[in-house]
Amino acid sequence: MLIMNNYNNMFNDVPTPWGMYLQDSASPMAEGMLEVHDTVMFYLMMMLMLVGYLTYSMMKFNNKMSYKYLTHGSLLEFIWTLFPVMMLLLIAFPSFMLLYLTDDVIDPAMTIKCIGLQWYWSYEYSDFINDNGETISFDSYMMPEEMLEFGQLRLLDVDSRVVVPIDTHIRFIVTGGDVIHSFTVPALGFKVDATPGRLLQISTIITREGRFYGQCSEICGVAHSEMPMTIEAVSLPKFLDWLNEQ
């Protein structure tokens, strides 16, 4: 993994052509996911090498490289039963810990409601009201190809981004308006199904400023590929400025 990390340049807050690895993390949750991914990959590599060598020894019985006594023996059987059990435990513990940690929503400072619709996202900042006493809400559509400004990302940039402050506990409440969609932002470690009739929640603290792209991840119809989500994380003063403009 380390070698891969050093030799590719495919980390990003956005998908990158021929990207082979996960996007850079921008929240503790995504950091944890990267960590678990790398750890599990390490165990998988060890397992692959061991099983590969056992298979080789079985197939090439009289080869210099093989060890023929590896094919039978009670102690050996005991070990090769225990070893996978240990491996599974080593994989299960960190992943379950992470799973339950990501489930926790503790005392969020602000809440954003995300409603998946065919084929756009509708956002509602329920904690803030405008001059008319209405909550701030807007729809976010993908920028069509003919309207893209030079350099904008096709199928990723939207007309209105979700602006959020960094270093703030934010809760996203996700639901669907028609069919099941999925609110997914890889850099933040989000993937929440937007199911009609259900409210699912996920929380995060974004640790750096940036623009984080995601795409609907539940097949939802013909324009499933054309309802991306873009989260723009800014400093608190900038966020307040943005709020005032709404």
Regarding 153 and contact with other proteins (CB under 8 A), the answer is: yes
CA distance 218 to 183: 9
Per-residue interface string for the shown chain with other proteins, residues 112-151, x marking contact by CB under 8 A: ---------------------------------x--x-xx
Regarding 31 and contact with other proteins (CB under 8 A), the answer is: no
Task: Name the minimum Å distance from CB 127 to other proteins.
Answer: 25
Q: Which stretch binds other proteins (CB under 8 A): 7-15, 62-70, 97-105, 129-137?
A: 7-15
Task: Name the minimum Å distance from CB 238 to other proteins.
Answer: 12
Other Cβ atoms closer than 10 A to 85: 9
Residue 196 DSSP one-character state: B
Per-residue interface string for the shown chain with other proteins, residues 92-111, x marking contact by CB under 8 A: --------------------
CA distance 80 to 59: 18
Q: Write the DSSP string, 89-128.
A: HHHHHHHHHHHHHHH---S-SEEEEEEEETTEEEEEEEEE
Regarding 71 and contact with other proteins (CB under 8 A), the answer is: no
User: Tokens at residue 128, please?
Assistant: 């803030």
Regarding 225 and contact with other proteins (CB under 8 A), the answer is: no
Q: Please report which helix (H) or strand (E) contains residue 203, including its range.
A: strand 200-205
Regarding 20 and contact with other proteins (CB under 8 A), the answer is: no
Query: Hey, what amino acid is at 79?
Result: I
CA distance 34 to 41: 10
Residue with tokens 């990501």: 102
Q: If DSSP codes are grouped into helix, strand and coil, which group holds residue 12?
A: coil
Can you say how many angstroms the Cα of residue 186 is from the centroid of all Cα atoms in its chain? 3
Residue of the chain from 37, 169, 191, 211 that contacts other proteins (CB under 8 A)? 211
Residue with tokens 């506990």: 169
Regarding 226 and contact with other proteins (CB under 8 A), the answer is: no
Regarding 238 and contact with other proteins (CB under 8 A), the answer is: no
Regarding 152 and contact with other proteins (CB under 8 A), the answer is: yes
Residue of the chain from 2, 3, 9, 133 that contacts other proteins (CB under 8 A)? 9
Regarding 13 and contact with other proteins (CB under 8 A), the answer is: yes
Residues that bind other proteins (CB under 8 A): 5, 9-14, 16-18, 24, 145, 148, 150-154, 208-211
